[in-house]
Structure 1
């Protein structure tokens, strides 16, 4: 359970699901660069990639959005996915090798993961990254092994359908059924908040991406903080409902 950080009992989170980009990691643009190169290799174009904010989108959603903007039909897009994702994984590995020194966890991440685990809560991922992207980015900053399960963009292109997948995998891993009142999602975009709300889960917004604390509050976050850097404050937030 996640207590309020002061030893008091009360309503607690027992499962915490983290977004990756902008929430756990500043990835120095490796994902965007890898998707661009892979799309050029497979489809001949990355579409209007410079005009599309990726924040909160799943990887398949990003690709479809860009290609549809270029006039591709679904019948033209879908067959390329079998080639696209291996190409993306290979390009991502190259980009990480080149930019590793610029990649870093967001403030307070190792400490908050330690604190949540110390309280006996489970840690999982809920991310738009495909598995290869999640593993590559988190491994580069020493965080991949902190998470034993999660839901990913390759499970469903619609982020709002990922929470039930994450909850089922949490059950398989821990033997515990989690649901509303026991689960928090932590993310840095309004898409994370919409995703949590769609499944009745609590959501903590962190302003370590493109959106401010006020933006995240207006989007409907239960709690919103500047970052995960104040461990006690984050734990207090996760003890509320």
Structure 2
């Protein structure tokens, strides 16, 4: 394996679905408040970070937030699983063809780097029939801080494939400035895709290595992600 490609999930691979409603429900069940759930921007944040920001804004202390997180995420996963049957996520254009092409390239390893907790990622990707595409990943359940997730993914990838991946051949593909930032924090490369709430111009201003409007140009994106660098 020469290349490791780490994909974000929401806004990059899939869109829609009931996650926000399920999270809202779980917050009310466990804490009695969801804070300003309609006003907070969730983009690029980890699930624990989102919970903390909402609940801190509602006046809860960190100790109370921490104590409730296991129950919060257990409730959230149950509610998410229940709702996904009627409201599945949708796969974004170009994603299946791109994953097929990368998987067929022979020297490309595919993984995840997402703010979703692991169980939420599993449910969403299962809903989209993409779960089996990814062998490793790092998740919001590994750290509340997104910038701490790349080393987790790299360690798991190294263990799974018995390869120490060159940072110049590791890409993070995501739709937010936070995806770009966590790549930059560890000397990794970034492909920003404007399929979320940020425009191509906004993503380009972050210093992303490359920006595309979508993942629909399969050949060009595969060439980019598998290009050997000095």
In the superposition, the TM-score normalised over structure 2's length comes to 0.96
1:140 to 127, 145, 148: 127
Moved over 3 A (4+): none
* Per-residue deviation, residues 136-185 of structure 1 (Å, max 9, x unmatched): 11100100111111000000000000000000000111010114111000
The corresponding residue for 1:66 is: 54
Question: Within 2, Cα distance between the matches of 1:178 and 1:41?
Answer: 43
Alignment of 1:24 with 2:10, yes or no, is no
Number of residues of Structure 1 aligned to a counterpart in Structure 2: 227
Contact 2:110 2:134 survives alignment (8 Å): yes
Contact residue 3 and residue 226 of structure 2 kept, 8 A: no
TM-superposition CA deviations, 1:110-141 (whole Å, max 9, x none): 11111111112000000000011101111001
Match of 2:155 in 1: 168
Alignment correspondent of 1:112: 98
Matching residue within 174, 181, 194 for 1:187: 174
Q: Does 1:88 align with 2:67?
A: no
Deviations 1:44-103 (A, max 9, x none): 011000001111000000000000001111111111012111101001012212212xx2
Question: What is the DSSP-based 3-state SS (H/G/I as helix, E as strand, rest coil) of the residue aligned with 2:191?
Answer: strand
Report the equivalent of 2:187: 200
Which structure 1 segments of 5+ residues have no match?
Answer: 2-12
Kindly indicate whether the alpha-carbon contact (under 8 Å) linking 1:167 and 1:179 is maintained by their aligned counterparts in 2.
no
How many Å separate the matches in 2 of 1:82 and 1:52?
22
TM-score normalized by the length of structure 1: 0.91
2:168 aligns to what SS in structure 1? coil
Aligned pairs for 1:38-77 within 5 A: 38-77=26-65
Q: Which residue of 2 aligns with 1:10?
A: none
